[in-house]
Amino acid sequence: MTNYLKQNNKLAYMTICSFLLILISVYMILIYAPQEIIMGDVQRIFYYHVASGWIGALAFFITLIASVLFLITKHEKYDLVAMSSAEIGVVFISMNIISGSIWARPVWNTWWTWDPRLTTATIMWLLYIAYLFLHTGLENHHRRAHITSVYGIVAFVSVPLTFAAIRIWRTIHPVVIGSSDPNAEGQFDMTPEMTTTLLFTVATFTVLYCTLIWHRIRIQQMQISLSKIYSHEIGN
Amino acid sequence: MMKSPQDNTTTKFWQSSLAIIWKDWKIELRKKSLLSSMLIFSLMIVLIFTFALDLDKSARENVAIGILWVTFVFAATLGLNQTIALENENSTLDGILLSPIDQTSILVGKFISTFIFVTIIEAFVMPIYYILFEIPLFSPKLIVVILLGTFGYTLVGTLLATIAMRTQYREIILPILLFPVATPIIISAVQCSNKILSGASWNQMSGPFNLLIVYDIIFVGIAIMTFDHLIKE
Amino acid sequence: MINLQNVSKSFGLTFVLNDINLKISTGQFTTIIGPNGSGKTTLLRIISGLLTPNTGTVTINGINTATHAYDTRHLIGVISHQSFLYENLTAFENLLFYARLYGINDINSRIKFVLDTVNLSKHQNILISTFSHGMKQKLSIARSILHNPPIILCDEPYTGLDQNSSDNLTRLLQSITYSGNTVVMVTHNLNKVIKLSDQLIVLHKGKIETNEPIADKTLETLIKEYDEITTR
């Protein structure tokens, strides 16, 4: 591990930096941000919930861009970016769904409900699981890169729909940022401290995302050069 | 009269699309396996739902549209798998790819023949539905919505079936890839259909209806732009 | 003339073809042989345009197959061990379908001509699912010469044929060569094609090992040379 990081100073700094940022964000969420009056401490989940949802959407957007760039340029590196970003996106969306579920238990009095937002988020999650599944189903690298890129573009249709779901359909999911729906349960207004905490958490997660994708791409590149050495040995 | 080169490529594009449609139909009219399996499958779904949900009259009205769309979606998936799998036998897809055609015409041809297969099945299933569920299915509005929904579903389905065919999982993977992608279309189609049945005006159903059209257009764009990259290596 | 310059192809991490340079002149019958996995089928698929090389260019009569695929596809006919035919169509319908894809003008007379060439006119309205393997192979040849291509690519066409059908195939290939067409044959079975070939290419581990005219060499010396190369 230390050897791995020694080769790349910038990445090492970023890894440490995101670790420190997460510690600060934990402090801000638990201590700095005020307690919400109605929901109490459970509202504090909100910060990580929103931040992980944001990273999920960002990650899938990067997958889309990388897929388009791959189809235009045919550079393998874009395929690596698309794949890595989708993997990270799935992890963050999973966190987003789980944290939302934990929050919903006391506030909505249920772990899960088939609300439009929850449904569209689940669809989005399933789509990118299918994307990763598709990746494992293709052994020929060149063909795989083409096919998964197309699916990476198709899959993205779910992302704006998930984002817009709470705004176009009647839903019980709160819209904290922007206008609010009278039907939503668990609605609240943010104090300035809450806003600061939220923005800080989102920024932290963005840094974390950059660090993770950098690691992921590096690991994949190493895998590729390793198997190149390996197949070379076999070849002789 | 001289034709401009633009005209010429357009004519050629449709010639090759039509050749593919003609060929798919010729084979189907001879084998009749696709249409019959789709039809039997659709009827099975209707029966299973009727027994599984133990539907009384009031319950029927609430879920009938949902069941109708589930039937269409499953039958279409079956059809998509088979029309694309047809090209696996004797590597005929390679034979088509070797010929001097615009490769997007393969998508268009395959899409149109599947779309016609599916609409024929729908035309058979709807009267049966009408008899079993006693819901007024034959309004022009509803037919427009069904056609639009089928259009988007079979189009993105043709694209994804081509993907599925190129993986080692073949037919198994198509539903996994297709269902989540097509959900926005299905959701808006079901909402539209429900509103039509409850007697809503165009204005009241404009939300889901616009969404349906938007998704159809998005899928047309994506399919045309990406199919080329998918089919060649 | 077919010209390959610095063509390399890898599937993932393994190189199937490594920096191939090759010129095949018009009217020549070239046979490419090599053991399994030597890259010969990949080479043929690259010439036919079904595969794009990772690096390098392929030109046919000076036209780049990657950028002007539409023009080069008219020039190529492919005979493969896969028939490219639909089992549930008749011989005539199969040819009709492909004739439409190739945009052939006088469809009926052209189909009649190619069916006569392969001696299948009597069976033109029979479903090919009832055809024997040899008959399918004949129809597959009819399909490949439908648009009268100057270049014929053959990918192991002898696979699964009995003695009689192979002889027929050889005779058909002979008549194709006599009419001045360029033929590129990929096979692992040298004795079937030795009499037809002008040029012999041995492909081994993705590289061209020899590329020389057959001239007066006997089958025995060629097989001996081939064994020496592949066991190296």
Q: Is the pLDDT of residue C91 over 90?
A: yes
- Residue-level pLDDT at C78: 93
**B17 domain residue, yes or no:** no
Q: Mean per-residue pLDDT for A142-155?
A: 88
Q: Do B26 and C89 touch (CB under 8 A)?
A: yes
pLDDT in tens, B190-207: 988 888 888 877 788 888
Rounded to two decimals, the ipTM of the complex is 0.90
> What local confidence, expressed as pLDDT, does residue B1 receive?
39
- Examine the pLDDT at B3 and tell me if it is beyond 70: no
What does the pLDDT read at residue A178? 57
Contacts of B15 in chain C (CB under 8 A): 100, 103
- Which is more confident, B151 or A105? B151
Q: For residue A234, count other CB atoms closer than 10 A to its CB.
A: 9
Residue A158: which of B160, B176, B180 has the nearest Cβ? B180
Structural domain spans, chain A: 44-174+192-229
Chain B hits for C93, Cβ within 8 Å: 23, 26
pLDDT at A86: 95
pLDDT of residue A128: 94
pLDDT tops 60 at residue C113: yes
Report the pLDDT value the prediction gives residue B2, as an integer from 0 to 100: 44
Instruction: Taking residues A132-145, report their average pLDDT.
Output: 81
Rounded to two decimals, the pTM is: 0.86
- Give the number of other CB atoms < 10 A from CB of residue B217: 11
Q: Is B16 inside any structural domain?
A: no
Cβ distance B22 to C97 less than 8 Å, yes or no, reads yes
Domain range for B149 is 33-232
In B, which residues are within 8 Å of A143 by CB distance? 166, 233
β-sheet bridge partners, residue C63: C60
Average pLDDT on B8-26 reads 91
Nearest 5°: the CA angle B98, A134, A53 is: 135
Q: Give the pLDDT confidence score for residue A183 in this predicted structure.
A: 59
Contact (CB, 8 A) for A45 and A53: no
Q: Which residue of A has its CA nearest to C14?
A: A231
pLDDT in tens, C143-169: 999 999 999 999 988 887 888 888 888
Distance CA B225, CA B231 (A): 12
d(CA C130, CA A188): 74
Q: Is residue B8 part of a domain?
A: no
Helix (H, G, I), strand (E, B) or coil at A18: helix
Cα separation, A46 vs A202, whole angstroms: 11
Q: Do B177 and A130 touch (CB under 8 A)?
A: yes
Q: Is residue B72 part of a domain?
A: yes
Residue B21 lies in a domain: no
Domain count, chain B: 1
* CA–CA separation, B186 and B190 (whole Å): 6
Average pLDDT over residues B99-119: 93
